[in-house]
Amino acid sequence: MTANQRILMVSPVLPATTGNGLAMRAAMSVKALSRHGRLSLLVHQLYPSMRRGGLEPELASLVETLVVQDPRHPSTGLDRLCGPYDRVHAFRLSTIPVAESVRHRAGALHVDFDDLESRSHLRIAGLLRSRQRHGEAAVAERQSATSLAAEIEALSQFDRVYLANLADIDHLPFCGRADVRVLPNVVDPVALSPGETTRSGAQSLDRPFTFLFVGTLTYFPNEDGVRFFCEEVLPLLREQAGQEFRVKVVGLAPPSVTSLRGLPNVEITGMVPAIEPHYATAGAVIVPLRAGGGTRIKLLEAFAFGAPAVSTTIGAEGIAVRPGVECLIADKPESFAAACLNLMNDASLRQRLSVEALAYVQTHHSLDVAIAALS
């Protein structure tokens, strides 16, 4: 594909280089697609923006035409989109109806399944049932069935389908006529160039030792992961740790998470204006997820900041890490606590993981990799 194409991207969220993973992947797509031609962006805003003031200047400079729609009024602003377009790039299942409404203006239709939602909803339903939240589980199961039908239709109707990782190909219902490609998440280039505030695995001399979790806690897998850590892993850490430590949870949090503030060793910050200072003073990042999909962009972000990490298998799913090389992997409360203790007590291990993880994201999750995938 040539670099003078006219491209329309349809996103359910305002792209942002920081914040939640959805907005960050949208920002990555804007950066990469803009390298292939003149980019228009239609934001069919199904998810609230974490950022005030509209599109970041860096991203705005890459977009020729920006239309932000209220989903209750889906025709708003369409007259400003003056196709025809060589391709329409739909980000997520929820934007497919909007993309199809401009099909007559498009030479090719592409869709980004960064998350196989049929599979993710089913996993979430299982976790909800394990917490006796059966009504919400039933809703998630219905969402899974609806998503599966939409995925099958997209694979039949769209010219190209992107996945966040190669492993998801095995979980596609079928490939249909679409050209299926991997579009990996990428890490912000600023994070890929550690400056004076990053530690490359050597925590600041501040005490106590800090375990950091970063994520939007209104997303149930993140809520469940933090609660799993605090309820099942943290008591084991308290029994075995030979030094002071704290668990810092950063991100928008519902009452079910903010209530954890009462626990010893736990700090819930809520949303913060900048994430960099929190990575700079973290001894290790924890990713105790037990459901979800796609590629965990927050784990990649931790790698890029030089923060050693311990993750569950699901938390690192879609990322070709080698356990014990780029990060530690543990799934049971006992093994997760043991991995945390290893990181707390072994500075050379933290340093080694940090160096390997940073090299990994620079090689496999740079913007150049995404630009090539979208060619």
- Using an 8 Å Cβ cutoff, are 278 and 165 in contact? no
- Using an 8 Å Cβ cutoff, are 220 and 127 in contact? yes
DSSP letter for 321, please: P
Question: What's the CA gap between 154 and 164, in Å, rounded?
Answer: 16
Query: In this predicted structure, what is the pLDDT of residue 316?
Result: 93
Calculate the alpha carbon distances from 103 to 110, 157, 163, 253 in Å: 11, 11, 22, 39
Query: In this predicted structure, what is the pLDDT of residue 337?
Result: 98
Question: What's the CA gap between 362 and 189, in Å, rounded?
Answer: 9
- Using an 8 Å Cβ cutoff, are 17 and 58 in contact? yes
Question: Does this chain's domain 5-186+367-373 share its CATH topology with 209-364?
Answer: yes
Calculate the alpha carbon distances from 337 to 124, 228, 289, 331 in Å: 24, 12, 14, 10
Residue with tokens 């949090």: 253
Question: What's the CA gap between 86 and 5, in Å, rounded?
Answer: 6
**Domains in the chain: boundaries:** 5-186+367-373, 209-364
Query: In this predicted structure, what is the pLDDT of residue 85?
Result: 92
Whole-prediction pTM: 0.87
Which of 2.30.42.10, 3.30.450.260, 3.40.50.11930, 3.40.640.10 would CATH assign to domain 5-186+367-373? 3.40.50.11930
Residue spans of the chain under pLDDT 70: 1-3, 48-53, 174-176, 188-206, 294-295
What's the token pair of residue 211? 């375990």
Query: In this predicted structure, what is the pLDDT of residue 206?
Result: 55
What's the token pair of residue 36? 């292939």
Query: What CATH fold (topology level) applies to the domain 209-364?
Result: Rossmann fold (3.40.50)
Which alpha helices (DSSP H) does the chain contain, by range? 21-33, 57-60, 96-101, 117-130, 134-157, 220-228, 234-240, 255-258, 276-280, 297-304, 333-345, 347-364, 367-373
Residue with tokens 């994201």: 361
Query: In this predicted structure, what is the pLDDT of residue 52?
Result: 61
- Dihedral of CA atoms 72, 74, 80, 85 in degrees, nearest 10, equals 150
Question: What's the CA gap between 171 and 230, in Å, rounded?
Answer: 32
- Strands (E) located in 53-122: 63-69, 87-91, 109-113
- Using an 8 Å Cβ cutoff, are 155 and 174 in contact? yes
Question: What's the CA gap between 155 and 148, in Å, rounded?
Answer: 11
Question: What's the CA gap between 161 and 78, in Å, rounded?
Answer: 24
